[in-house]
Structure formats: C-alpha cells, structure tokens
Chain A
Amino acid sequence: MTKLISRDNLKKLISKVLTSFQVIAPVNENNVSFFKRISVYEQIKWEDNNPTKSPKEFFFAPSDDLFRYQMKNKNILLREPSNHHDQRIILGIRPCDMAALNILDRVFLEDGKDLLYSALRDNTLLIGQSCRTPGKYCFCSSVGINPDDSQNMDLMLTDIEKNLFLVKVVSEKGEKFFSHFSSFFQEADATNGHTPVQTKEMVDYLKRGALFNVQNINEWLNENFEHPIWSEIAAKCIGCGVCTFFCPTCHCFDISDENVVYRDSSFQGVRRRIWDSCSFDHFTKMPMHQPRPTQDRRFRQRIMHKFKYFIDRFQQGACVGCGRCRSLCPVGIDIIEVLERIHCLSYQSHGVK
C-alpha cells in the first residue's frame, strides 16, 4: 500500500503520536547527529546523511541491566528488569541501519531468544527514510543494500517533492498504525506514479554499483586466514574499538557486576551486559592463555566475522555499508581499502570471474 503525506501533516502526525508513543528521531547537537528520544517535533533534524550514531543502542544499549541483586542476611534476592516498555516509534531509520537491525535479530532472536532485545523490538514501530544522496563514506550498494530499500521497515518515507513524502506501508504493524492515523495521509496518484528525489551524486553512486564482490571476498577469506595483509593493514590500528562501537551490526558484549556495599556488609548491585569489542586485548584473554595476542589477529577477527563467519552461520554478511567505521577511525583505516585489496587478491588467485 502506498500513500502520501505532506511535511506539514507529518509534523502534525508526529506531534499527535508524541502524546501516546515515545518518539526517537535524528537530532543534531553540538554538530553531532544521532538518534534521540524527542519531546517536540522541532527537535528533529532532517539531514541528508545518516546520523553518526545508529539507532542500535535503542535495542541493545551500551549497558543493559540483566538483573539486580541484593544481599541481605546471607540471602540473595534477584530482581529482573521490567520487560514492559512504552510503545516506541523510531523515525528516520535508513535502509542500512534497518539491515543492521535485521542482522542483530538473527543473533538475539534465533536459537535462544534474548528477552531484553525481543521486548524492545516488539514494542517499536520503525518508520524508515530513503536516502536521497549518498554520504561521503557510504557503500551500501557494494553489500547488496539499496538506499531506498523498505525491507523489514513498518513504514517507509521517500521524498518525492520538496514538501511531500511517498509513504510505503510495509508491514502489518505499519498497516495498523496507518489505519489508526489515516486522516493525516492522502491518496497516492496511481496513474502518474511518483519519482523519488535523488541528487546527481545518488544517480552516480547507483550507476557505479559495487566496489567489490562480497562472494569473492568470502571465498578469499576461506583460504587466507594466514596472509601478510593482516599485519600490514593492522600495523597502524591502535585497538581503540571505535569501529566496533559505531558499527550498527557489532553486537559482542561482556557481562559484569557493579556493587554498592553498605556498612553492615550487606550489598546490592546490578549485573550488566556491556558493549565489548574484539579489538581489545582482554576480549579473549584468559588467565593462562590468549588466543588472539596481537592487534593484527584481532583486526582479522573483525573482517572474518563480518565477511566469513557470519555468512557461514547465517548465510548473510554482517556489514551494511554505512561507512561509519571508515569515517570515524582515528588512524584512517578504511574498510573499503581493505576489501578492495582483498577483491584484487581474489582476482589474482582465481582469475577474473
């Protein structure tokens, strides 16, 4: 089902739903763009480029309480966090970040459900937004994602005129939402169709197509766990973990306890899961043994996880081409350079495909 909504009506709609939903949308504060819970529509900053931070943290936070515990008179009381959350809307999620959420779904919902994640996922309506122009670091089209992909969204907005959006009602959840607020929408013109607004850069970006072939990368990785490029590329990596923390698909975590101890030696605290990173030495370190003792091995793990291990396990890659790791790496390690290099090496070893 396709409808239209004017910018004015979108503003009215969001202002209306703010009374009954939590609304999370892109904002810009101190020149940093990110997703944030808003209280008024005016906080939203509609920018051409995807926010620096993905909405990952609204489903899998940097620190999530698993449970609280209290120790009193040698008895332990455990208290689970409430699984009841207000209904939420995430507005303006881009196709790459949506694809990333789908990757997190595979990890957290399949084969043993993570209840914290699934509760947040269930109570959130996702209103996507097509990209009209590519960001400087974007490469979604190289990993099979389209800048107007509505897959897994509930509703999808696409600019068709300056103040008019095409609205694709994608899911059942989206349909329910639409029928509840249908008065804000108008019928789409079935005969003329509507052309999305795209910049010349977007046209060129789409024309250029993929910078590398994921299949070739995957095949090369199957055979080149040991290769000089790992230490060459990782030589400048400082292991800060920025690439993994900003990655919308990275999902590794640690579990740790934090205590408050009282004078009578009773104590209470919380067990948390906290974002962790394969870039860190401690990630795999055991008292007597460290399977990944050097930075090049940890760097290799990151590439292998995204372009081989995840594909082996889930038949899909774990990179969505958002480009955040490229843009934020403090020492300028560029995943595109790495992948293009592997792509070339795969041609050298297998001939042109």
Chain B
Amino acid sequence: MENPYLPKNVKIEKIIDETAGKDIKSFVLSFLNPQDCEAFSYHPGQFAEISIAGAGEIPIGIASSPSEGVEVKFTVKKMGVVTKDLHNSSAGRIIGLRGPYGNGFPMEELKGKNIVIVGGGFAFTTLRSLAVYLMDDSRRKDYGDITIICGARTPGDLIYRQEVETWASQPDLKVQVTVDKGNADWSGREGFIPPVVKEVAPSADNAIALVCGPPIMIKLTIPILFDLGFAPNKILNSLEMRMKCGFGKCGRCNIGNKYVCKDGPVFTFEELQKLPQEY
C-alpha cells in the first residue's frame, strides 16, 4: 500500500493561453511513469491535486476527457501561490499530480438521455471534459441530443474558444455561445447565459442538465430550467470548496454531512436543496 499523499511525477507537455488577459491557462500533463498513468483512471467531472513542491497543492477539475488519450489537461486560473507558480512554468517542467478524486458526472445515468450543458466562464472546464467524452465516435450513439450553452464576460474571456467554434459547426450538436459584452470582432450573441437558456428552451423530456458557473449564473439559470420542466434531480451542479487532502480525511470541505471531495463535487440540485446553504 502506498502513501496516498504522495504526488506522481508529471511533465508539462504544453501550455495554452486560454484568454486574452492571459490569466487562464491550460496545462497538458503526461505521467513520467507508465504505471502511474494507468492508475490514473478517470471520468468527466472528477478532479485531481496538482502539486508543486515548495508551493503546495491545489484541487483542479480535469478538463480533458479520457477518450483523448493518456495526457491529462487542467485549465487553471491565476489566483494564489500555487496557481501563480504554475502559470510561471514553461513546458518541460516536472510537477506532481495525485488523484483522480470525487464522484464525477454520473456517466451511466447520462446514457440514453438528452444532455443539456450550461457553463459560464472558467467553470466550463469539467463540462468540456464531459462534452468531448460524449462526442467521442464510439460513444456518441449512446446519448440523445446534446445542447451546449456557454459564455463568458467578454470574447477574450471565452475559454476553449476555437474548439467550441468547431463544435458549433457539427450537425449533431446544438451549440450557443454568448458573451456579456461583445467587442469589435465579435459577431456572436451578446447577453447573459440564463436568458439564452430561456430562449433556446431545451426540452426537459428525457433530459439531464449540467450547470457549472459563477453562483449568480447558477442561481438565475435554475428557475428557468424548472420552468422548462427539469426536475431538481435532473439538474446537476459541480461545487468548489477549499479541499486539501481530496479523499475525506482533512475535514475542510463539508457542506452539512457531505464531503465535497468524496460525495461530490457533483451533486443534483435535489441533493443541494437538502444541504445547508453553506457553499
């Protein structure tokens, strides 16, 4: 048995600037040891602890899909000590990774359903993992209609912009991208996400909605989904907390009797209604 706190060595293969402000970057990582790679078996919606010896660790949602291969991608916003250190990296740097942790999205339950993905701003990362997973050639037939509604404050803040634009041209996807405020080279939608959800009005019939974004976006989107007929147990959210260990020991991430790291981070809105408003 091994020390569960010990990170595995990974190499930063590639760093991608995701926003115009350069405060959000994606890091593509590969394990140095093939056994570690094999042991890191994940599905969309899970997270891992990125470790930089000397700076610390941070829990980050996994942005890649296992269908994309062995490299694991994380999209990280520059915020504190660890993320700043990570942002200052160049490709080739060796850092640490441990995980995967958390329940992730309920992939079995999503089978045969119409999927509605609503993501605002930087929180779109694990939803990107999900979208890529669902669209994988070998799996696409297992799911019904896929609707993706995503947005950011400005065109420069849209993460995965090119990728999302290619999705928009795919016939088997319904994609809507919006920005709060456009600029000279933005010809797309302008406006907040909740009204777009209302306008697109995805059917609740045999559907599950997955909503990630800033609290205010979630707060305004949920009633619209209710109006469209989505039951609370058909709406999924992913939560953030100040997690440290990632596997239910350190006691920091509880909301009521649930640990976000183990029981979450994905909860149905029905589950959240039963928890104290402490998230």
- A residues in contact (CB < 8 Å) with B: 66-67, 69, 71, 74-76, 78, 80, 107-108, 111-116, 225, 251-257, 259, 267, 269, 271, 273, 276, 278, 283-289, 291-292, 297, 301, 304-305, 308-309, 312-313
Contact = CB atoms under 8 A, between A and B. Distances in A.
B224 interface: no
Contact of B5 (A254, A255, A291): A255
A112 B250 CA distance: 12
B94 interface: yes
Given A252-B252, A286-B241, A309 B53 contact: no
Instruction: Identify whether the interface residues of B are mostly helix, strand, loop, or mixed.
Output: loop
Contacts of B257: 308-309, 312-313
Contacts of A284: 241-242, 252
Nearest to A70: B53
A194 B54 CA distance: 59
B249 interface: yes
Interface in B82-133: 93-94, 96
A291 B279 contact: yes
A253 to B, nearest CB: 5
B160 to A, nearest CB: 21
Q: In the complex, which range does the number of interface residues on chain B fall in?
A: 35 or more
B6 A253 contact: no
A271 B252 contact: no
B242 A271 contact: no
B64 interface: no
Interface in B1-19: 1-7, 9
Instruction: Identify whether the interface residues of A are mostly helix, strand, loop, or mixed.
Output: mixed
A309 B259 CA distance: 10
Given A69-B54, A254-B244, A271-B53, A287 B94 contact: no
Nearest to A310: B257
Nearest to B57: A255
Interface of B: 1-7, 9, 53-57, 79-80, 93-94, 96, 215, 240-242, 244-245, 247-252, 254-257, 262, 276, 278-279
Contacts of A308: 257
A256 B54 CA distance: 9
A193 to B, nearest CB: 44
Contacts of A115: 1-4
Contacts of B7: 78
Contact of A76 (B1, B4, B53): B53
A271 B5 contact: yes
Contact of A107 (B55, B249, B278): B249
A76 B94 contact: yes
Contact of B251 (A78, A251, A255): A251
B256 A309 contact: yes
Given A76-B9, A291-B241, A292-B278, A112 B249 contact: yes
A200 to B, nearest CB: 41
A112 B248 contact: yes
Contacts of A259: 54
